Structure formats: structure tokens, C-alpha cells
Chain A
Amino acid sequence: MPKLASWDELKQHREDSKSRTSLLSPDSNRIVLAVGEATCGIAAGAKEIAAVLQSEIENKGLENISIIATGCYGMCYAEPMVEVREAGKPSVYYGYVTESVAKSIVARHLVAGSPVEENVLHVEVQIP
């Protein structure tokens, strides 16, 4: 990767990055599954959950879905946590995700289109 040599190049890199990152642009048809992989999440089994999500997605042959690791959501008590990001919709946050909940998220939320209500967390966070 060549070095960015001016502020303009940084700005251009920002625009290019937007479509490639885990943050969805409004017109994206991709779904991002973010798994909280800070120490708290990993200790509670986040890496195993991410692996289950990955294999379920492959088994079901789903496309346009990426799984990413993110940091701490703050709700350490509810780890492992999984967030479903879809362009144009508010994120859905899942807590206390076990292997079977992870499978339900794929089957019910991603395939059938209705969230797994039992594990949805209410999140009130403002990023000014």
C-alpha cells in the first residue's frame, strides 16, 4: 500500500474505505455480523460463536454476509454478543449468545427475517 501523501489522499482513501468496511453504506445489500471480541467477549466464548456463525452461513449457502470482530460493547455481563447490521435498519444486538442461539440467529433472523426476540438486548447509546 503506497503512503498517503496529502490530506486529499486521506479523504479519497476514506471514501474508498466506506464501501469496504464493516460500516455499511446506506445502499449496501450486505449484512454484517459483528461479534464482540474484546477480552470480555473472548473469555465468554466469542471466538467459538463466530466460528459457529461462519459454518452456519456456509452450510446454508448464504451470500453477502460478512462476520467481523469488534471491541467491547460495554455490556460485559451479556457476552458473548452478536450484532446484526443491515443498511437502512437499526442494528439488532444479541446477548447471552450460545451455540444454539447463534444457529437460531442465522436460521430465524438471516434466513427467515425475524429477530430471535428472546435474546435481543435493549441498547441505549448515543455517539455524538
Chain B
Amino acid sequence: MSGVSQTRIALRNCGVIDPESINDYIATDGYDALAKAIFTLTPDDVVDIVKKSGLRGRGGAGFPTGIKWETAKKSQSDVKYVLCNADEGDPGAFMDRSVLEGDPHSVLEAMALCGYAIGASQGIIYVRAEYPLAVKRLQIAIDQATDLGLLGENILGSSFSFSLRLYFGAGAFVCGEETSLMNSVQGGRGEPRIKPPFPAVAGLWNKPTNINNVETYANIAPIIRNGWEWFRKFGTEKSPGTKVFALAGKVNNVGLVEVPMGTPLRSIIEGIGGGIRNGRRYKAVQTGGPSGGCIPAEHLDTPIDYESLISLGSMMGSGGMIVMDEDDCMVNIAKFYLTFTAEESCGKCTPCRIGNKRLLEILDRITEGEGTDNDLEELDILGNIIKDTALCGLGQSSPNPAISTLRFFRDEYTAHVKDKRCPAGSCKKLIGFKILADKCTGCTVCARNCPANCISGSIKKVHVIDQEKCIKCGACLEKCRFKAIVRG
């Protein structure tokens, strides 16, 4: 992508090596960090380096990775597990898929390093079955590493043993939540557990378990090889390193970007992303997926890090970034995300199961022109109650898209409620099309293109739309060459 330079740590090998060749990975210093750790560092040293690097979880919450590893290391048990969360359930996100497809060994090496650090000899990668290519390349990588003695018994002739296997997720969003994920691996229902105890104390089969996201792991080997000081040269004081974002939506250049933390949103969207498609105006960027919020133009110069995104009512999340323009209705966007989370709610706790349903009904009413002032108030109150009382991160964050759009785009909500109008022209119940008599030339193009056959008029005579039959698709507006058709 052009304009702004990217800095690739997690994606260092993506688009460089052949992911199905362990020799390619080894040639680019692969498995050197593991060897360095086994032969020159104690487990405490490894934990210490990860802690000092300041690396924070890239899967959502941004929890310090070193502290997690330290807790798992201190937990006493004969058996411990290393888990990798490769469930990547956020709509529009594909960062982890790219790492798994482009550089699977970087994840295996990091998991082995984690096993060495916390004292575990078994690891499981929980990968969604909808990623068949990632699954295939991971399995090839595991087999190759095992054949070469880089996984398995007595790695590189040392006393350290570590083996890995895959477990397939079946596509439930909640199974990306770490405790649900563990229930799923155990063969149970994908429902969250109450925390504490945290996984590092009692996780998979109640054994101490370290779980990290794919991208978090992809940063580990370079940190061990180059040192924590090196890693801290990138990013900010509180959010060191880089972050991968999946840029999608109304930008010219859709794709993956990896930039240092602290890079302003604007550099990504206007620089690397090449600005908004078709010369339209930027309206908002959605970050953090179904748990995040929408950030308006006045905050485009915000440097991206965990804290500043939270202060804007959004979050880093896993790194999805969906750009919206003036044709996107923010109420409808909130409804889209809430429809997703309401459907994916596992139903275990009441606030999430019933609260999100009620929240969705309110948004439905507003987009259909039946909302009231009271609905706006209720949206805010109920949303915050769900956040405060839900059992897991799904319900604790599902109201965010609604709350954040209400905060930054209240005028759009008001237009729907008070004027029964959708300013973006996207809520079907609230829009209509009419033909301006003084501009219509009677060319018949609109009538011929109307899929509902609801435009009448003869050649060179002014045409009329039958409002009763109109399905509000907007085809006539797009086809009219005389700007004779307008919304309203």
C-alpha cells in the first residue's frame, strides 16, 4: 500500500517466505529464538523479556502478555497448557488468517517458547474450521517441525519437550472468548465461565493455561531474538510495538496494514488506505468489531493505541477497521452489529440474552420510523446496564456500537425519531423517491429500469412514481441522466 510506510514485525514473513516450507522459515532466522531460549535463557528470563517488552494482547483486551505468562508460570501443576486463539470471529477481520496462511511457523515457535517459559509440554491451536487454508498450512507446519525435531520430544537434543495439535472451532463467535473456547475444547458447550479463576490459574481441564491470540504470538520470536529494548523502539510507551489492521469498507485500498502503535487513524485511512472511494466524504471508522465503536472525522488525528480508542468509546479489538462514508446510516450500522451479537449470544446470562434483544428492538423501531425520544434514553440506559452486568466480554461490549453512535451521531438518531428521516438515505422505511417535473424529459429510462414496474409516463411526458408500489431500491435515481429524481 502506498503513501505511508508500514513496519512489519508480526507480518515479517507474510509475502516473503513460502509458508509450506520450514526451510524458508529457518532461513529467515526461524526457530533461532527457541534455540536461544532453550540453551541460554532460563524460563524466568523468557518471562522477564516478554514482560519488559510491554507486549499487550492483540486479540482484544490488550492485557500485558508477560504478566499472563508469569501467572501461568507461578501456578503449580504437573500439567499446563499453551493455547492459541485462532478463532477470529469479528466480522471483517482477517489479520490472524493472514498470519496463519503466510507464516504458520511463527505461531508454533512462539507457543513452544511459551511452553518453555511457563513449564508446559502441550499446546493446542483453536482454529476456525472456516479457514481451510490456514488449517492445511498449520498442519503442514506442525508435521515439518515435528519431523525436524523442533517440536516433540527433546527439542534440539535438550530436555525440553513440547507438542502441538489443532482443534477446530465451528464458527460460534462466543467461542473466541477464552473461557468459552476452553469449554469448547473440552467437548462442552461454548459458554463462558465466571472469572476468576483466570485461565492462567485454572484453565483447560482446570489446569493452568496460557492463552494468547495469533498476532500476539507472532511478535514473540522477534522479541526473544532481538531483545525487549528493540521492541520498545516501536510504538508508544504504554502500547509498544506494531498492530496489524484489516482495512475494509469504503476505502480505495482494502487490505492488511501493520503500523507502529501511535500512528494517527488518518495516516491509515487517507495514506495507506488511499482515502474514500468514489470521492465520497468520510463519515466514520468502526474499530473493535462488534465490541467497538464508530469514530467520527473530528477524531481522525487520534493516535491509535489501546487507551485512546477506549476514551473514544471504541476499542482496539482484534484490529478490524471498517470505513464508512456519507451513505452509511449510523443507526443502521449499530443495528447491523447488534443483530450479530444478539444472534451470537450464548444465552447463559440474562442481561446478554434478553437485554440485547430489547436493545435490538429499540433500534428496529428507530430505523422503521417508529422510535420515540424515550427510546433514545432507554438505549443509553439499557446499553449501560447490559455492559455492567453481563457475564462475559460479549455482553459487556455488545452495546458499544449503539452507545458510541448515539454519542457521536446523535443528530442522525434524532432525525430518525423526530423528523422520521434517514439523512444517509439508507433506512428503507424512511426514504422515498420523487421525480422533479421541471427536470424530467420523459426519456423513459427510469421506467424501463424499475424492477417493481411502478413508474408510469409516456415518451417525452413527465413520469410519476407510484409510492405505494415503490420498493425504494434507488435504481431510478442511479439511472436518471437529468438529475430529475431526488430522495424525499
Q: Chain A interface (Cβ within 8 Å of chain B)?
A: 1, 3-7, 9-10, 13-14, 17-18, 20-23, 34, 36, 38-40, 42, 68-78, 83, 121-128
Contact = CB atoms under 8 A, between A and B. Distances in A.
| Dominant secondary structure at the B interface | loop
Contact of A3 (B13, B131, B149, B255): B149
Contact of B1 (A3, A70, A75, A128): A75
Given A13-B23, A77-B252, 15 more contacts: A4-B148, A4-B157, A10-B31, A23-B24, A69-B18, A70-B14, A70-B15, A70-B17, A73-B14, A73-B15, A74-B14, A74-B15, A74-B258, A76-B254, A124-B6
6 contacts: A4-B157, A9-B156, A14-B29, A17-B24, A71-B16, A125-B6
Q: List the 8 closest pairs (A to B, CB-CB), nearest first.
A: A71-B102, A3-B149, A73-B15, A17-B23, A5-B157, A76-B255, A71-B14, A74-B256
B253 A70 contact: no
Contacts of A36: 15
Contacts, number: 151
B14 to A, nearest CB: 4
Contact of B4 (A4, A6, A34, A124): A124
Contact of A128 (B3, B7, B21): B7
Contact of A10 (B5, B156, B253, B256): B156
Contacts of B21: 21-22
Contact of B156 (A6, A17, A68, A121): A6
A111 to B, nearest CB: 25
Contact of A23 (B4, B17, B19, B94): B17
B39 A7 contact: yes
Contacts of A17: 23-24, 26-27
A14 B8 contact: no
Given A38-B98, A127-B8, A74 B255 contact: yes
B157 A14 contact: no
B261 to A, nearest CB: 14
Contacts of A123: 1-2
B257 A74 contact: yes
A9 B21 CA distance: 18
A126 B18 contact: no
B35 A7 contact: yes
B133 A22 contact: no
A7 B156 contact: yes
B366 to A, nearest CB: 34
Interface string B227-263: 0001000100000000000000000111111100000
Contact of B101 (A3, A20, A38, A121): A38
Nearest to B29: A14
A10 B6 contact: no
A10 to B, nearest CB: 5
Interface string B207-239: 000000000000000000000001000100000
A121 B24 CA distance: 25
Contact of A21 (B8, B17, B29): B17
Q: Which of A7, A18, A68 has the most B CB atoms < 10 Å from its CB?
A: A7
B15 to A, nearest CB: 4
A68 B18 contact: yes
B98 A72 contact: yes
B103 interface: yes
Given A3-B149, A10-B35, A126-B8, A77 B254 contact: yes
B8 A10 contact: no
Given A125-B6, A126-B7, A18 B27 contact: yes
Given A1-B147, A5-B157, A125-B6, A22 B17 contact: yes
A74 B11 contact: yes
Interface string B78-112: 00000000000000001001100111000000000
Contact of A72 (B3, B14, B24, B38): B14
A71 B103 CA distance: 7
Contacts of A4: 148-150, 156-157
B27 A21 contact: yes
Given A10-B32, A70-B102, A39 B97 contact: yes
A71 B35 contact: no
Contacts of B410: none
Contacts of A71: 13-17, 19, 98, 101-103
